[in-house]
Amino acid sequence: MASSERPPSPAENSATSSTETLTDSRDDNLENTTTEDSGSTTLSQDDLAVPQSAQIKADDTDEQITAKLREQGVRIGKFGIAPRVFWPALIVILAVGIIGVAAPDFTGQVFQTTQNWIVSNLGWYYMLIIGGFVAFAIVLGFSRMGKIRLGRDDEKPEFGVLSWFAMLFAAGMGIGLVFYGVGEPLTYATVGPKPGWEGSEAEIQGLAMAQTFIHWGLHPWAIYAVIGLALAYAIHRRGRPVSIRWALEPLFGDRVKGWIGDVIDVLAIFGTVFGVATSLGLGVQQISAGMAAMGIVDSVDNMLLVILIVVITFLATLSVVSGLGAGIKWLSNINLSMAGLLLIAVLLLGPTVFLLQNFVESIGVYLANLMQMTFDVGAYQRGEGASSWFTSWTIFYWGWWIAWSPFVGVFIARISKGRTIRQFIAGVLLVPTIVGFLWFSIMGGSGLFRQFAGQGDLVVDGELSVEAALFQVLEGLPLGTILSVVAIILVAIFFITSSDSGSLVVDMLASGGHPNPPTWSRVLWALLEGFLAVGLLLAGGLEALQAGSLITALPFSVILLLMCVSTVRALAAETIARDRALRAAEMNRLRDYVTGDIAENLDEFQELESYVDRRIDYRIERTRSGFARSTAARGQGKHAE
C-alpha cells in the first residue's frame, strides 16, 4: 500500500518517545495505578517519586542537604541529628553496656533466659523466614520485575562489573570468616556434629562442609538482598535519603515520616551496633588466641580481652576521625589484599589437591542436602543437646545476619546504582556465596586434613578451640609464623573497617539519612560499640554476644518481612503503570496509523468493506435442518418464476 512509505506522524514520534522514557518516575507523570486485584489503595508512581528539586545531589552543601531532608519530611534537630532516633537508640544501647559492666551476672542471666525462650519457641520462625527470603530473592530475580533498573531507565551502572564484584566480596568478608574458617567445619566433623547425623567419617565431613555452606552462603546473602534491594529502589529509583524507613514507604506511605519510621530506624541502629559489638568480641578472642599460640602472652583472661577492645576501638576511632577517603578506603584495600594472600598461601602451601577436591565435593553435598538443611529445626531430636546445638550455631547465625543486615544492606545498596534488579540479585547472591565456599573449602579443608589425615592434634581430650584452630593449622605450614602474624593483623583491620563503616551507617540513620553526618557522632558510636562489646563479654563471653544479636534480630526480622511486601507492592505498581503506558502508547500509534491509512486510501477501504460484506455467515444459529433447507429452496424457485 502507498501508505507504508508514509513518514511517521508527530503522534507516532510522541508515542515512541514516551515509550522510551515512561518508567522514569522522577521525570514523567505516569497515570495513577490502582492494584485492584489485591484490594489495596491507589498507589501511583507519583506517590513514590521525589521531585528533582528535593533529591540530594553529590555537589550539594551540608546546608542544602539538610534543607532537602526537611523538605522530604525528615526531622533534623540541633547538631545535625534526628533527635527522635538518636536519643532513644543512644540511651538504650548505653544502658545495656553499663548494666553489662556493673552487673555482668544479672545481665548474662537475662540474656541467656531470653535466648533460650527464643530458640525454644521461635526457632522454627527463624528457619522458615530465612528459607522464605531465599525463595523471595530468587523468584523476584527471575520475574518480569527483574528488568526494572535501580536508577533511571537510561542510567549506566556506577561501577564496572569487576569493581562491583570486588566490593560485594569486601562486604562478604569479615571477622566471622577468619574466626570460623577452620574451626566451624572441624567442630561439626569432630566434637559437635549436628544432632541426627549418621554415617561414616567421610560422610560426616561432607555434611560438616555442607552445613557450613548453609550458614555462610545463599541464606545470609538472601537477607542482605532483601534489605539492599528495598533500599536501592528507594534511594536510586525514588530519590529518597539513605535511611531504612524509606524502604517501607510503599507500604506505610507518609506514616514513615512519623513514629513508625523512627522505630524502624532505631531498631536498625540496635541491630548494627550489636552486630559490630559481636564481631569485635569474636575478633579479640581470636587475636588473644593467636597471641597465646605465638607465645606473646601466657594465658587469656577478661583483662586481656578488654585491653584489646580498647586498643582496637581507639584505632577505629582514629580511622573515623581521618575521614572516609583517608581511613576506610585504604584499610579496605589492605585487608582484602591480606585475605587473598592468606587464602592463596594456605592453598599452595597446604594439601592443594585435597583442598580443590574438597571444594568440588562439598558443593555437591551442599546441593544434595540444601532443602533439608534449610528447614531442619530439630523437631525430631529430643533433649538439651539439640537445642544447645541450634542455639550455638544455626539460630545464632540467622540472628547475627539479621542484626547485621542494616549495615550490609546500606553498603550494597549504595554501590549498586544503575544495576537492574536481576543483576543485583544475581550478583549479591552468587558472588559472595562462591567466595565464601572457596574460603571455607580451603581453610576448613586444611583443618579437616590435619585432623583426619595428618597430625590429628586439633582435638585434644574431646576439646577443640575454635578461635585457636586457625593458628594451629598455620603453624603446620611453611612460613607459619609469618602467616599467623598476617592473620592477627587481618582480624584487627577487619574490625577497624567494620567499626568505621558501621559507625557511618548508624550515624547516617541517626541523622535522618544525611550522607555527611557529624564526625563527633561517628566517634561516639564507634566508642559505644567498643563499650557494648566489653559489657557483653563480661556478661557471659561468646554466649552473651550470640544472645545479644539474636534478641535484637527478632523485631527487625518483622521489618524485613514487611520490606518484602513493600518491595513487591512498589514493583508491581510500577510494572502495571509501565504496561498501561505501553499499551496506551501502542494504541495511539496504531490509531494514528490506521486513521491515516483510511484517509489516504478511501477507495481501497470501500473495496475492502464491500469484500467483507460478501463474506459467508458461519454463525451456528444460521445452520438449518434439511427440511428447512428444502422449503427455502422451493420458495426461492417460486420467487424466480
What is the pLDDT at residue 13? 40
Q: What is the pLDDT of residues 332-344, one digit of tens each?
A: 778 788 999 999 9
Nearest in space to 236 (alpha carbons), one of 26, 502, 423: 26
Neighbour count for residue 79 (Cβ, 10 Å):
11
CA gyration radius, the chain: 31
Q: What is the pLDDT of residues 296-340, one digit of tens each?
A: 888 888 899 999 999 988 888 887 777 544 455 677 778 788 999
C-alpha to C-alpha distance for 105 and 539, rounded to whole angstroms? 6
For residues 234 and 240, the answer to whether their CB atoms sit within 8 Å is: yes
What is the pLDDT at residue 66? 86
C-alpha to C-alpha distance for 332 and 142, rounded to whole angstroms? 33
Sorted by sequence, the CB contacts under 8 Å of residue 76 that are 6+ apart come out as 66, 69, 70, 82, 511, 512, 514
Q: Using the predicted structure, report yes or no on whether residue 17 has a pLDDT greater than 70.
A: no
Q: What is the pLDDT of residues 394-417, one digit of tens each?
A: 999 999 899 989 989 998 998 899
Q: Using the predicted structure, report yes or no on whether residue 36 has a pLDDT greater than 70.
A: no
Q: What are phi and psi of 463, to 5 degrees?
A: -120, 140
Q: Using the predicted structure, report yes or no on whether residue 219 has a pLDDT greater than 90.
A: yes
Average pLDDT score, the chain: 83
What is the pLDDT at residue 628? 58
Q: What is the pLDDT of residues 492-510, one digit of tens each?
A: 888 787 787 888 889 999 9
DSSP letter at 149?
B
Report the residue count for the chain: 641
C-alpha to C-alpha distance for 500 and 318, rounded to whole angstroms? 9
Residue 289: helix, strand or coil by DSSP? helix
List C-alpha distances in Å: 23 to 14, 37, 228, 474: 15, 22, 21, 55
H or E stretch covering 548 = helix 542-600
For residues 63 and 276, the answer to whether their CB atoms sit within 8 Å is: no
The pTM score is 0.83
What is the pLDDT at residue 280? 85
What ranges in 464-518 are assigned the alpha helix state H?
466-475, 480-510
Position with higher pLDDT, 200 vs 596: 200
CA 82 to the chain's CA centroid? 25
For residues 448 and 358, the answer to whether their CB atoms sit within 8 Å is: yes
Position with higher pLDDT, 224 vs 634: 224
For residues 59 and 43, the answer to whether their CB atoms sit within 8 Å is: no
Q: What is the mean pLDDT of residues 430-436?
A: 92
What is the pLDDT at residue 601? 62
What is the pLDDT at residue 437? 96
Sorted by sequence, the CB contacts under 8 Å of residue 360 that are 6+ apart come out as none
Sorted by sequence, the CB contacts under 8 Å of residue 607 that are 6+ apart come out as none
Domains of the chain, each with CATH number or no CATH? 60-133+195-560 (1.20.1740)
For residues 191 and 451, the answer to whether their CB atoms sit within 8 Å is: no
Q: What is the mean pLDDT of residues 283-298?
A: 88
What ranges in 233-351 are assigned the alpha helix state H?
249-252, 259-293, 302-322, 328-349
Q: Using the predicted structure, report yes or no on whether residue 467 has a pLDDT greater than 80.
A: yes
* Residue 225 pLDDT level (bands cut at 50, 70, 90): very high
* Residue 40 pLDDT level (bands cut at 50, 70, 90): very low
Q: Using the predicted structure, report yes or no on whether residue 46 has a pLDDT greater than 60.
A: no
Q: Using the predicted structure, report yes or no on whether residue 514 has a pLDDT greater than 60.
A: yes
* Residue 162 pLDDT level (bands cut at 50, 70, 90): confident
Nearest in space to 503 (alpha carbons), one of 135, 178, 137, 93: 93
Worst-scoring range by mean pLDDT, 180-194, 303-317, 437-451, 606-620?
A: 606-620
For residues 272 and 407, the answer to whether their CB atoms sit within 8 Å is: yes
Strand-pairing partners, residue 596, are none
Q: What is the pLDDT of residues 56-77, one digit of tens each?
A: 777 788 888 888 888 888 889 8
Structure-block grid coordinates of residue 293:
599460640
Structure-block grid coordinates of residue 128:
522458615
Q: What is the mean pLDDT of residues 209-219?
A: 96
Position with higher pLDDT, 459 vs 594: 459
Q: What is the mean pLDDT of residues 91-99?
A: 92
List C-alpha distances in Å: 530 to 177, 510, 534: 20, 18, 6
C-alpha to C-alpha distance for 165 and 171, rounded to whole angstroms? 10
Q: What are phi and psi of 149, to 5 degrees?
A: -95, 140
Max CA pair span of the chain: 129
Q: What is the pLDDT of residues 111-136, one digit of tens each?
A: 889 988 998 899 999 999 999 999 99
Q: Using the predicted structure, report yes or no on whether residue 447 has a pLDDT greater than 90.
A: yes
Nearest in space to 55 (alpha carbons), one of 241, 232, 229: 241
Q: What is the mean pLDDT of residues 461-469?
A: 90
* Residue 622 pLDDT level (bands cut at 50, 70, 90): low
